[in-house]
Structure 1
Amino acid sequence: MNFSFLTPVSDAVLVHNELLSTHAIGRKIKIHSVQNGIPDLNGVKLAIFGVLENRNDANYIGEEINFNEIRQSFYGLFPASWNTTIVDLGDIHKGETVEDTYFAVKETITNLVKTGIIPIILGGSQDLTYPNYRAYDNLIPMVNIVNVDSQFNLGDSTKPIKNNSFVGKIILDQPYNLFNYATIGYQTYFNSQEEIDLMENLYFESYRLGAVSNDITLVEPALRDANIVSVDLSSVKGSEVSVKQKYSPNGLDGKEICAIARYAGISNKVSSFGVYEYRPSKDDELTSMLVAQMLWYFVEGVNCRVNDDDFLEDDNYQKYITLVESEELVFYKSNKTGRWWIEIPFLSNVNNKLKRHTLLPCMHQDYLDACNNELPERWYKALKKNSV
């Protein structure tokens, strides 16, 4: 595999690492260093790397970024009883152009995902989600993205890509591989009515901050169905982060963002996870520790994955069939985990994007709603997207 784009973790972080307890994460993971080069990736399940690129930030004024504080915070935490091997591959530096950086990110993620390694990306600006998405061009036919963000980032796709408009590029650039896009934690006053309407018209999913804070379990099915999870740190409320990172008095709190990270980890489909819009500053212990804890919960989730979506054996599930408005809805409940799915029917008369019966993650509440003659919203949107 070609990892020539990656530079080693800084000596300052490695020296700090030597002072940690021998039981700390930093003493148990493999680290790309100047002395030892890139570690052997045999048996590795998770690979962390940073991308020092923020030139497509709409407010870019030349700031440099680094992830030393995040690494020191993460290395200093203690692992749970994990059985996965983690590697820190170091950083991708800015290329001569942003497109050069995108190419390096795309190639690195493609190489990792192809070999069954889950990349954990630490970002600069969130437009890096675009090369993350493009990394899947030759890997899977359709991609689902979850964006944890206060804004939809649809933007004007006719203009150059920025961190507040990258989703428009993802939707409109060929090849068209996007099936579903879901935003978790959006705040209405940060989004124009045109963008809100567009999300509806494209049958994409959006979870308002109030609804998420009221019941965090609402977002689990969307994360269970995602291939890529992209987290914008500006979705976190200002009181949870350091001065330079503050964006809004309202937002997700530390427990909620860590719960979302754990849901992403538990998902059997999530194969890349990124945290973006990090802005280091001298008083940055708070933000770096929050990101470190998010990474911890994601790794914890990956270690708790259960293959519960195998419905070939009758013993693995219970099947429920209900009628809603003359539609026959078929639900499956895993006997291993108690998680629910709903079947999206094959539409023979249209250009079906998924080409087969597809099981869509859902909640027990969706089944209860169907029993009360209500069509589940996730099912309806998936069916509509499938027939566009």
Structure 2
Amino acid sequence: MEIEIYLDPVNIDFDSNPDKNAPQCFGDKIVVYREKNKFPDLSEINLAILGVKEDRNALLNKGCAEGPDHIRKYFYELYPGNYNNKIADIGNIIPGNTVDDTYFAVSTVIAKLIKYKITPIILGGSQDISYANYLAYEQLGQIINIAAVDAAFDVGYQSTDITAKSYLSKIIMHQPSCLFNFTNIGFQTYLVDQKAINLMSNLLFDTYRLGSIRENIEEAEPYIRNVDMVSFDVGAIRMSDAPGNAYALPNGFYGEEACQIARYAGISDKLTSIGFYDYNPLFDNRFQTAALIAQIIWYFIDGYYNRKNDFPHIQKDDYLKYRVSVNDNTREIVFYKSKKSDRWWMEVPCPTDISKNYLRHYLVPCSYKDYLSALKEEMPDRWWQIFQKLM
């Protein structure tokens, strides 16, 4: 695959704690790149752990470059679920002379992995690595949706330089653009200025407050099911559960809610990369956050190995089809319900000249709640937002 030139082997003392590498634990069951010039064969692999020890653009969170190996130590001691895992830990990106060099290496490695149907699990490092993740899809020529689990929008107005707090602006402004939609999950209103909220609205991006998601965590599933890439800021988890971050906050998701969100990401047939960022061991009391992130990754993997492969364009005979008239019968919404998973999608009209390019976007994940809204002749917000984008 020719990616090993960008990678250093995992440098962890595997013998320092025998319990962490016990038989049947992940540390014993996955393929690990441990020695230079002995890069593992990835031909049978479908998930790859990739560390990125980069924090030069981390602003006040310097030290997060040391996060990947701490997370690994706790991940390796976990037991896999009841599935035949084909996971490799391919080591850490070799830091470049400049941050841009690191971005190039990250995007190249991720693009190669995705091309060969391997989903990378990225361990940061600072969250600006999300920009490099995005560039991988540009290399692949793929129009994508991104979700960020984050307490803020990270658009940044003070500088044109990319940082962990402004990477999203870099993605939005990048040309040629391969971004179709962006979704923020869990923002806290008092941390976001009105200018940023207006920007998200004007761009027809989806933003969901922490309170609304926590009130009904199941509603996060359709939002995540619609994305190709997830950027998970550890700072979105409350300080009591995840103190290992310079920006840790008193409010945020509980650890078990973060695990649930990660599992939703895992079961999404569409998602092809996920990254966990801004974990800083310098602030981590008894490495509680490292242990939590390891468990969050466990839930992502568990979701991945329970995918249903039921995206509607595959075989529509496997779905129940519902037609609902709204707006006094002037418009019809077509819903699909999977017989495999009971998950819902709705079809958004798309101009025929672009329908082929946007097939993955005009079949929109939704919930039973959206179907009930349509029955009341209420146009679902998700439907309307995508309709405006496609028109």
Does residue 12 in structure 1 map to residue 13 in structure 2?
yes
> What letter corresponds to residue 368 of structure 2 in structure 1?
H
Structure 1 match to 2:385: 381
Does residue 339 in structure 1 map to residue 339 in structure 2?
no
Cα deviation 1:4-49 (Å, max 9, x = unaligned): 1110111424654686320111000000012672111121010001
Does residue 97 in structure 1 map to residue 101 in structure 2?
no
Aligned residue among 343, 358, 362 for 1:358: 362
Q: 1:221 to 1:159 in 2, by over 3 A?
A: same
> What letter corresponds to residue 336 of structure 1 in structure 2?
K
Q: 1:313 to 1:74 in 2, by over 3 A?
A: closer
Report SS of the residue matched to 2:46: strand
Q: 1:237, 1:248 within 8 Å by CA — same for their partners in 2?
A: yes
Structure 1 match to 2:288: 286
> What letter corresponds to residue 306 of structure 2 in structure 1?
C
Q: 1:244 to 1:111 in 2, by over 3 A?
A: closer
Cα deviation 1:114-157 (Å, max 9, x = unaligned): 00000000011101000100101132431100000000112239
Report SS of the residue matched to 1:90: strand
> What letter corresponds to residue 337 of structure 1 in structure 2?
S
* 1:15-30 pair list within 5 angstroms: 15-16=16-17, 20-30=21-31
Task: Determine the C-alpha separation between the residues in 2 that align with 1:52 and 1:206.
Answer: 29
Q: 1:17, 1:75 within 8 Å by CA — same for their partners in 2?
A: no
Deviates more, 1:103-112 or 1:155-164: 155-164
Structure 2 match to 1:268: 269
Cα deviation 1:242-268 (Å, max 9, x = unaligned): 365561110000011000000000000
Structure 2 match to 1:190: 191
Q: 1:238, 1:245 within 8 Å by CA — same for their partners in 2?
A: no
Q: 2:147, 2:229 within 8 Å by CA — same for their partners in 1?
A: yes
Deviates more, 1:313-322 or 1:298-307: 313-322
Q: 2:61, 2:278 within 8 Å by CA — same for their partners in 1?
A: no
Report SS of the residue matched to 2:87: strand
Q: Percent identity?
A: 42
Structure 1 match to 2:219: 218
Q: 1:14 to 1:35 in 2, by over 3 A?
A: farther
Does residue 46 in structure 1 map to residue 47 in structure 2?
yes
Q: 2:61, 2:246 within 8 Å by CA — same for their partners in 1?
A: no
Q: Detail structure 1 runs of 4+ shifted over 6 Å in the superposition.
A: 350-353
Q: 2:54, 2:64 within 8 Å by CA — same for their partners in 1?
A: no
Report SS of the residue matched to 2:107: helix
Does residue 230 in structure 1 map to residue 234 in structure 2?
no
Deviates more, 1:180-189 or 1:216-225: 216-225
Cα deviation 1:273-309 (Å, max 9, x = unaligned): 1000010137342101101001100100110001112
Structure 2 match to 1:174: 175
Report SS of the residue matched to 1:119: strand
Deviates more, 1:57-66 or 1:70-79: 57-66
Task: Determine the C-alpha separation between the residues in 2 that align with 1:331 and 1:181.
Answer: 23
Task: Determine the C-alpha separation between the residues in 1 that align with 2:91 and 2:216.
Answer: 36
Task: Determine the C-alpha separation between the residues in 1 that align with 2:249 and 2:129.
Answer: 22
> What letter corresponds to residue 280 of structure 2 in structure 1?
R
Task: Determine the C-alpha separation between the residues in 2 that align with 1:95 and 1:35.
Answer: 18
Q: 1:23 to 1:84 in 2, by over 3 A?
A: closer
Report SS of the residue matched to 1:103: helix
Kindly state the Cα deviation for residue 67 of structure 1 after the two structures are TM-superposed.
2.3
Please give the TM-score of this superposition, normalised by the length of structure 1: 0.94
Q: 1:77 to 1:315 in 2, by over 3 A?
A: same
> What letter corresponds to residue 40 of structure 1 in structure 2?
D
Q: 1:384 to 1:17 in 2, by over 3 A?
A: farther
Task: Determine the C-alpha separation between the residues in 1 that align with 2:84 and 2:265.
Answer: 18
Kindly state the Cα deviation for residue 158 of structure 1 after the two structures are TM-superposed.
6.5
Report SS of the residue matched to 1:179: strand
Please give the TM-score of this superposition, normalised by the length of structure 2: 0.93
Task: Give the unaligned 5+ runs of structure 2.
Answer: none
Task: Determine the C-alpha separation between the residues in 2 that align with 1:311 and 1:244.
Answer: 41
* 1:154-169 pair list within 5 angstroms: 154-156=155-157, 159-169=160-170
Structure 1 match to 2:35: 34
Q: 2:108, 2:136 within 8 Å by CA — same for their partners in 1?
A: yes
Kindly state the Cα deviation for residue 82 of structure 1 after the two structures are TM-superposed.
1.7
Structure 2 match to 1:371: 375
Structure 2 match to 1:113: 114
Task: Determine the C-alpha separation between the residues in 2 that align with 1:135 and 1:156.
Answer: 25
Q: 2:25, 2:78 within 8 Å by CA — same for their partners in 1?
A: yes
* 1:142-153 pair list within 5 angstroms: 142-153=143-154
Cα deviation 1:88-117 (Å, max 9, x = unaligned): 111113211000000010011011000000
> What letter corresponds to residue 11 of structure 2 in structure 1?
S
Aligned residue among 304, 307, 328 for 1:305: 307
Task: Determine the C-alpha separation between the residues in 2 that align with 1:143 and 1:125.
Answer: 22
Task: Determine the C-alpha separation between the residues in 2 that align with 1:308 and 1:64.
Answer: 38
Structure 1 match to 2:297: 295
Kindly state the Cα deviation for residue 311 of structure 1 after the two structures are TM-superposed.
4.8
Task: Determine the C-alpha separation between the residues in 2 that align with 1:15 and 1:280.
Answer: 19
Please provide the CA RMSD for this pair.
2.1
> What letter corresponds to residue 341 of structure 2 in structure 1?
T
